[in-house]
Amino acid sequence: MTSVADTAPFRLRLSALPAALTLLILVTPFVGLLLSTHWRHFAFTQGDGAAVGVSLGYSLLSLVPIVGLGTPLAWWLARHRMRGQWLIDALLLVALLTPPLAMGLLLATMYGPYGAAGHVLERAGLLLTNSAPAFVLAQFYAALPYYVMAARTAFEGVPRELEQIALTLGYSPWRSFIHVSLPLARLGLAAAVALAWVRALGEFGAVLIIAYYPQGIPVKLWVNLQNVGLDAVYPLLWVFFLVALPLPLVLGMAVRRRLS
Amino acid sequence: MQIDYRIEYPVSLHARFEVEGFTVLLGASGEGKTLLLKAIAGLISARGEPFNHLPPQQRAVGYLPQGHALFPHLRAWENVAFTLRGPDRRAMAIQWLERVGLAELAERWPASLSGGQQQRVALARALARRPSLLLLDEPTSALDPVTRDEVLAELIAEVHQAAIPALAVSHDPALAAVADRLVVMHARRIVQIGTPDQVYAQPASGAVARLLGLRNVQRGRVIGTPGAQQLWWPEAGVAVPVRTALADGATVDWHIPPSAVALSESASQGAIAAQFDLRQTNVHGSYLGMRCGQARLWMQLPPGRELPPAPWLSLQPDAIRCWPTEGEA
């Protein structure tokens, strides 16, 4: 007869197999990049540097409206329950789930030269096609739902009682938000910002439609692939990973550690 | 300070009483005691005096919720200094911590403090606000049973020293026993007010007696007219002699102190067949839990007296106190 103690490690090994296989499949493309890069002839294509500058600069700029507008919405969603709440949740999910290319087409429809908003804004001197503002707009729409979702979860993790205690200690709701809610949600909020940033940085579909120019990293990768070939994308791809991933990785793991 | 508050939602509740010194509002869980404190602090919608219609930040209350709610991202002194302003706020916070005997723990994070220490930091934080009323929600609930009495005594001494009226809500009879003034709530109404001595000596109802933690509070019915009355105890299936002024057929809560439950020599009239259930020994003495039908009766055995294998119990008629239950929720 086999004892429980004997079968337990066996079961563990058995259940670890599909997990290991999945991880292996997950890591395969990255190994591919490592093996395919010509390290001896590692060279950038013309315009790669400018693309890095465009991506970094405008993605950081897009964070301003994302955080500025997304934080109050996230806090409001975390702290209020109302009739028709499902509608707001559904709206956020629709924005989150809309494929980037479709989002680009929607943006072109609304903010393009023939769009309702685009027409008005263009007369006011704000061109939202193939311009820096169009680039930021595409990034804003791509990343805002992710930021709101993550920030809402961060605020929901702040015990409401602590905000109330701050009120009883003479703090206004605004000061309570600044001195209690924000510091207690800071890790989750930082992770939300990092997530939004990496989403904005990597946005291709929406950017391609309304802001082919100025070219950021994703569109430049596409252009390099079309004009030169696969070898021309690796250096820029490496830059993308090195720039975009460390911050979200560290914050994501810190949140994970706190949750466990 | 006179408290008069009316809450409509989520439960309907009206409470009116005087807070003097350390006042305890005693009531079972679910009575809405926490809601009342939150209403006074302005954290839920309610009408009443004092502080009517003021936003919470303008109400001069020190609110200590269950679990103390220290800010986990601030050190002990920073928690106390939360309400203080100016360049001296650290020194002032340390002074408040000194008052509650915790100055040496000023740099500690809340998570590294014991339940009692957290409570004292929360008290220092509330006092630093210079409130005109302290509100304490179940102040004994998060305390270690071994040190509870000591921590409680310290807390009450602090409250007395601060000379601020304090209202503590609790279901803990131990807290009620050390109050300056006791307010008892049952079925969302204030049913008795007095000093603990007065309330313990004359509980207004069986519900109050139960809240005070008295043993042997049972349900029954008075049978017969005054002078020749018996108390029918349905759970034990017996009727015992009793002396009351209640009318025949009155449904009652009744109580008998464990010291008035005696061993009976034989199965005489009014004796109750019992079985030994358990023994409970604490600093106040030793109690025997005796199974009587569906109910349990606690008794104290005189020293040196042995419990027979099939004991019969008798209840002193004069020691039985009856409260009519008609009209009680």
The predicted-structure confidence for B255-296, as pLDDT tens digits, reads as follows 999 988 888 877 777 788 888 888 888 777 788 899 988 899
Cα–Cα distances in Å, from B64 out to A134, A258, B32, B56, B67?
52, 27, 16, 14, 8
Closest CA to B231 of B308, B317, B102: B317
Whole-number percent of chain A with pLDDT over 70: 95
B61 - beta bridge partners?
Answer: B133
B221 vs B218: CA distance, rounded Å: 10
Q: Cβ B65–A166 below 8 Å, yes or no?
A: no
Per the listing, tokens 């309570």 go with: A176
Residue A170 forms contact with B (CB below 8 Å)? yes
Inter-residue contact B217 to B320 (CB < 8 Å): no
Kindly report the nearest CA distance between residue A183 and chain B, in angstroms. Answer: 7
Task: Give residue-wise pLDDT tens across range B194-251.
Answer: 999 999 999 999 999 999 999 999 999 998 877 788 899 999 888 888 888 888 888 9
Token code pair at residue A116: 């309702």
Q: Evaluate whether residue A41 is within a structural domain.
A: no
Task: Give residue-wise pLDDT tens across range A183-192.
Answer: 999 999 999 9
Q: Evaluate whether residue A28 is within a structural domain.
A: no
- Using pLDDT thresholds of 50, 70 and 90, give the confidence band for residue B121: very high
Q: Is B188 left (phi over 0), alpha (psi -120 to 50) or beta?
A: left
Q: Give backbone dihedrals phi and psi of B169, rounded to 5 degrees, phi first.
A: -105, 140
pTM of the model: 0.81
Q: Is B277 left (phi over 0), alpha (psi -120 to 50) or beta?
A: alpha
Q: Evaluate whether residue A25 is within a structural domain.
A: no
- Using pLDDT thresholds of 50, 70 and 90, give the confidence band for residue A136: very high
- Using pLDDT thresholds of 50, 70 and 90, give the confidence band for residue A106: very high
- H helices of chain B, where? 33-41, 76-81, 89-99, 115-128, 148-162, 173-177, 196-201, 206-211
Q: What is the CATH number of the domain that holds A94?
A: 1.10.3720.10
How confident is the model over B104-130, as a mean pLDDT? 91
Contacts of A162 in chain B (CB under 8 A): 69, 71
| Structural domains of chain B sorted by starting position, each given as residue range(s) with its CATH number in brackets | 2-211 (3.40.50.300), 217-324 (no CATH)
A147 vs B150: CA distance, rounded Å: 49
Q: Give backbone dihedrals phi and psi of B181, rounded to 5 degrees, phi first.
A: -145, 140
- Using pLDDT thresholds of 50, 70 and 90, give the confidence band for residue B163: confident
Q: What is the mean pLDDT of chain B?
A: 89
**Chain B residues contacting A, CB < 8 Å?**
38, 41-43, 55-59, 61-63, 65, 67, 69, 71-73, 82-83, 125-126, 129
A160-168 vs B33-41: helix axis angle to the nearest 10?
A: 50
Contacts of B72 in chain A (CB under 8 A): 184
Q: Evaluate whether residue A20 is within a structural domain.
A: no
- Using pLDDT thresholds of 50, 70 and 90, give the confidence band for residue A4: low
What number of H helices and E strands is found in chain B? Answer: 8, 20
Q: Evaluate whether residue A129 is within a structural domain.
A: yes
Contacts of A170 in chain B (CB under 8 A): 57-58, 83, 129
Which residues have CB under 8 Å from A255's CB, separation 6+? Answer: A187, A188, A191
Task: Give residue-wise pLDDT tens across range A165-180.
Answer: 999 999 999 999 999 9
Q: Evaluate whether residue A31 is within a structural domain.
A: no
Q: Which domain holds residue A100?
A: 47-259
Q: Cβ A180–B71 below 8 Å, yes or no?
A: yes
Contacts of A167 in chain B (CB under 8 A): 42-43, 55-57
B269 vs B273: CA distance, rounded Å: 11
The closest CB to that of A162, out of B59, B61, B69, belongs to B69
- What's the pLDDT score for residue B64? 92
Q: Cβ A159–B69 below 8 Å, yes or no?
A: yes
Q: How many domains does chain A have?
A: 1
Nearest CA in chain A to B135: A168
- What's the pLDDT score for residue A259? 66
> Strand order of the sheet with strand B2-7?
B13-18, B2-7, B47-49
Q: Evaluate whether residue A240 is within a structural domain.
A: yes
How confident is the model over A51-78, as a mean pLDDT? 95
Q: Evaluate whether residue A159 is within a structural domain.
A: yes
Q: Residue A5 pLDDT more than 70?
A: no
Mutate to test the interface with B, among A168, A181, A184 (most CBs of B within 10 A): A168
Bridge-based pairing of strands B166-170 and B22-26 is parallel
- Using pLDDT thresholds of 50, 70 and 90, give the confidence band for residue A200: very high
